[in-house]
A and B are shown apart, each in its own frame.
Chain A
């Protein structure tokens, strides 16, 4: 693996200061920073070949379309999908789940059917299903979690029934960092004949994702959480499902033939890509995935495990600090509380020390409610973070504790 100091220079923002202090960026769960190559790609698109895709016969449109389809190819091999037609570009994880919840509901769901999610979901994997259930008269079932922040697998098996039409769970909890046993979840669902969607928003950037090996039916993620541009995301679906599902948006490029009497739809993947797509974002995402592959996903995983061990050790040693989410299967995301100190107070002081953390409910209010808390301080790390930065966080926490004690 490239030296960490060298890697950090790939990300220009990591070199900046805030309030005259070196930035410690521990909010990677919310969004990751971008390497120079991704920034350069966006600049290159707009300065040299910007043109709408699949539209014109002209030179630039060809170039643009080719780069866009090339990016689709990169995503296909990155998650090891079978075919490129199984990769749909969307606006992000939220866009992917909302679109799928609509189409899936229209095609397969009737009154009394059930959808299973877990208690660890981000609101983006709760609300779209609730909306669909309301529309179709279906019921949302929730896999409970234990005190360590892990799903209770036996309870999940109990929930699976002939009424279950889909299981939709996160790969990694954004609020607690727990990695879910998705291979086992998928295998059990499949033996009951139920397809599975995996929300990879917090999972795709930590380790290797292989949708073929996992055999998941749908996999969704956001570009901006894997060092790519904002406003681009992926909906992967097995061709068999995507062919059957109706489109979730109508417009240009997704049609075959339009008359006022009837419209026939374009083939996959274009059926799901209505209107002008975010092609610069897609092309930038392709560059980000190349970057991640160059660093090496095994290397990233190893480094993140090292950071997880170190931050767990340092935070556990602080008197009055309580960690939420104590699974042995975690990414380096630490959610914690300081005794008798409001997370908002702590966040404000850490901010002034140059340390960026998130405070609050992390768009996962049911998780907070499960642990009987109103919010946490969340430090979410990724491979470009360092042990020294963790030391700075510890100094920051000590300062907070001395100020509010």
Chain B
């Protein structure tokens, strides 16, 4: 599936629910499917420091694609990072760098979980793209 197809699937899934409580339940369930980070990477180097909850994110690069694993101490945040991983993990650095993540807007994540009030969804996206840029750079060397 392409990045767009995965995003469209997520948008469809969230469209089934009008109530934000139900959407949160989807996020909570998604959090349970999160590919969990190896405990040895749950250290400061892999921490995306947010205002309210902690997120650890680790990239694994096999020379072709980046596989992300992550964890958070808050369950809703786990769900959000799981969504991002669903879309961006297993992609080439190029795909990740150029990905247009329109699903965030479409499912109402931006208004409801904006970076000023939560652990920046946007800092997670930025960190994933930064890893992709760094790893792509390493590839070129």
Mark each residue of chain B from 16 to 58: 1 if its CB lies under 8 Å from any CB of chain A, else 0: 0000110011001000000000000000000000011100000
A344 CB contacts on chain B under 8 angstroms: 52-53, 74, 76-77, 118-119
Tell which of B25, B73, B118 touches A348, judged by Cβ atoms closer than 8 Å: B118
Instruction: Give bound CA distance, A360 to B116, whole Å.
Output: 13
Task: Give the number of chain A interface residues (Cβ < 8 Å).
Answer: 16
Which residues from 155 to 198 on chain A have a C-beta closer than 8 Å to any C-beta of chain B? Answer: none
Q: Is A375 engaged at the interface, CB distance under 8 Å to the other chain?
A: yes
Q: Is A352 engaged at the interface, CB distance under 8 Å to the other chain?
A: yes
Q: Is B75 engaged at the interface, CB distance under 8 Å to the other chain?
A: yes
Instruction: Give bound CA distance, A81 to B89, whole Å.
Output: 64
Known contacts A344-B52, A375-B52; decide if A352 and B74 are in contact (CB<8 Å): no
A341 CB contacts on chain B under 8 angstroms: 75
Q: Is A260 engaged at the interface, CB distance under 8 Å to the other chain?
A: no
Residue of A nearest to B119 (CB): A344
Instruction: Give bound CA distance, A24 to B24, whole Å.
Output: 21
Q: Is A19 engaged at the interface, CB distance under 8 Å to the other chain?
A: yes
B74 CB contacts on chain A under 8 angstroms: 342, 344-345
Is B51 a contact of A360 with CB atoms below 8 Å? Answer: yes
A374 CB contacts on chain B under 8 angstroms: 73
Residue of B nearest to A341 (CB): B75
Instruction: Give bound CA distance, A344 to B52, whole Å.
Output: 6
Is A403 a contact of B20 with CB atoms below 8 Å? Answer: no
Min CB distance A123 to B, Å, is 14
Q: Is A359 engaged at the interface, CB distance under 8 Å to the other chain?
A: yes
B77 CB contacts on chain A under 8 angstroms: 342, 344-345
Min CB distance B44 to A, Å, is 15
B53 CB contacts on chain A under 8 angstroms: 342, 344
Q: Is A404 engaged at the interface, CB distance under 8 Å to the other chain?
A: yes
B119 CB contacts on chain A under 8 angstroms: 344
Q: Is A37 engaged at the interface, CB distance under 8 Å to the other chain?
A: no
Known contacts A359-B52, A360-B52; decide if A342 and B73 are in contact (CB<8 Å): yes
Of listed A341, A342, A360, A404, residue having the most chain B CB within 10 A:
A342
Dominant secondary structure at the A interface: helix
Instruction: Give bound CA distance, A345 to B53, whole Å.
Output: 9
Is B76 a contact of A352 with CB atoms below 8 Å? Answer: no
Is B118 a contact of A352 with CB atoms below 8 Å? Answer: no
Instruction: Give bound CA distance, A393 to B52, whole Å.
Output: 21
Is B24 a contact of A403 with CB atoms below 8 Å? Answer: yes
Known contacts A342-B73, A342-B75; decide if A349 and B52 are in contact (CB<8 Å): no
Instruction: Give bound CA distance, A342 to B76, whole Å.
Output: 9
Min CB distance B30 to A, Å, is 14
Is B52 a contact of A404 with CB atoms below 8 Å? Answer: no
Mark each residue of chain A from 328 to 369: 1 if its CB lies under 8 Å from any CB of chain B, else 0: 000000000000011111011100100000011000000000
B76 CB contacts on chain A under 8 angstroms: 344-345, 348
Instruction: Give bound CA distance, A360 to B73, whole Å.
Output: 13
Known contacts A342-B53, A344-B52, A359-B52; decide if A349 and B24 are in contact (CB<8 Å): yes
Known contacts A359-B52, A375-B52, A403-B25; decide if A345 and B20 are in contact (CB<8 Å): no
Residue of A nearest to B28 (CB): A403
Min CB distance A328 to B, Å, is 31
Is B20 a contact of A352 with CB atoms below 8 Å? Answer: yes
A375 CB contacts on chain B under 8 angstroms: 52
Which residues from 70 to 85 on chain B have a C-beta closer than 8 Å to any C-beta of chain A? Answer: 73-77
Min CB distance B36 to A, Å, is 16
Is A349 a contact of B75 with CB atoms below 8 Å? Answer: no
Instruction: Give bound CA distance, A19 to B20, whole Å.
Output: 9
Residue of B nearest to A347 (CB): B52
Residue of B nearest to A399 (CB): B21
Min CB distance B11 to A, Å, is 20
Residue of A nearest to B51 (CB): A360
B24 CB contacts on chain A under 8 angstroms: 348-349, 352, 403
A360 CB contacts on chain B under 8 angstroms: 51-52
Instruction: Give bound CA distance, A404 to B29, whole Å.
Output: 10
Known contacts A342-B75, A344-B76, A344-B77; decide if A349 and B118 are in contact (CB<8 Å): no
Residue of A nearest to B25 (CB): A403
Is A404 a contact of B21 with CB atoms below 8 Å? Answer: no
Min CB distance B80 to A, Å, is 11
Min CB distance B117 to A, Å, is 9
Residue of A nearest to B75 (CB): A345
B75 CB contacts on chain A under 8 angstroms: 341-342, 345, 404
Instruction: Give bound CA distance, A265 to B119, whole Å.
Output: 48
A345 CB contacts on chain B under 8 angstroms: 74-77
> Can you list 23 A-B contacts (CB < 8 A)?
A342-B53, A342-B73, A342-B74, A342-B75, A343-B52, A344-B52, A344-B53, A344-B74, A344-B77, A345-B76, A347-B52, A348-B24, A348-B118, A352-B20, A352-B21, A352-B24, A360-B51, A360-B52, A374-B73, A375-B52, A403-B24, A403-B25, A404-B28
Chain A residues at the B interface, C-beta cutoff of 8 Å: 19, 341-345, 347-349, 352, 359-360, 374-375, 403-404
Name 5 extra pairs, CB < 8 A, besides A403-B28, A404-B28: A342-B53, A342-B74, A349-B24, A352-B21, A375-B52
